[in-house]
């Protein structure tokens, strides 16, 4: 996959207040939580160790951004999130769509999707 960077974008905003609201939502009503990427890759309070190890072993540059950060850094406001983008020479293209992420029911499903996509190039 050359030197392209994978940018994982959560369907949630950054910041302490937003994080606390997200934690509360996950606890009170996890079935209505709007970010499957967050739900799969994070426990209630932090990123899952298995996920950290998986992305560290991918051998490609990785970034994690929130909805407000992708808007600020790349001017992308009307995108369906969560999603994974591939950044090549400052151009972003959708690499994994919201629908694909939402079809993942476990961390293993997401990891398999990413492995398959990496093999495809």
The pTM assigned to this predicted structure is 0.82
pLDDT at 45: 72
pLDDT digits (tens, 9 = 90+) for 2-43: 579 999 999 888 766 555 565 555 656 656 556 788 889 987
- Residue 11 is part of which domain span? 5-120
Percentage above 90 pLDDT, the chain: 56
pLDDT at 1: 45
3-state secondary structure the chain: CCCCEEEEEECCCCCHHHHHHHHHHHHHCHHHCCCHHHHHHECCCCECHHHHHHHHCCCCCEEEEEHHHHHHHHCCCCCCCCEEEEEECCEEEEEECHHHHHCCCCHHHHHHHHHHHHHHC
Question: Is the N-terminal amide bond of 82 cis, ω within 30° of 0?
Answer: yes
Residue 24 and residue 6: Cα distance in Å, rounded? 29
Q: Based on the structure, what is the number of domains in the chain?
A: 1
pLDDT at 15: 66
pLDDT at 69: 93
């Amino acid at each position: 996959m050359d030197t392209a960077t994978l940018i994982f974008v959560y369907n949630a905003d950054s910041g302490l207040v937003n994080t606390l609201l997200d934690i509360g939502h996950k606890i009170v009503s996890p079935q209505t939580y709007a970010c499957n990427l967050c739900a799969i890759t994070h426990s209630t309070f932090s990123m899952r160790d298995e996920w950290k190890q998986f992305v560290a072993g991918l051998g490609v540059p990785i970034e994690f951004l929130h909805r407000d950060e992708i808007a600020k850094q790349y001017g992308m406001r009307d995108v369906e999130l969560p999603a994974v983008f591939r950044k090549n020479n400052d151009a972003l293209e959708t690499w994994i769509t919201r629908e694909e992420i939402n079809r993942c029911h476990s961390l293993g499903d997401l990891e398999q999707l990413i492995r398959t996509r990496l093999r495809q190039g």
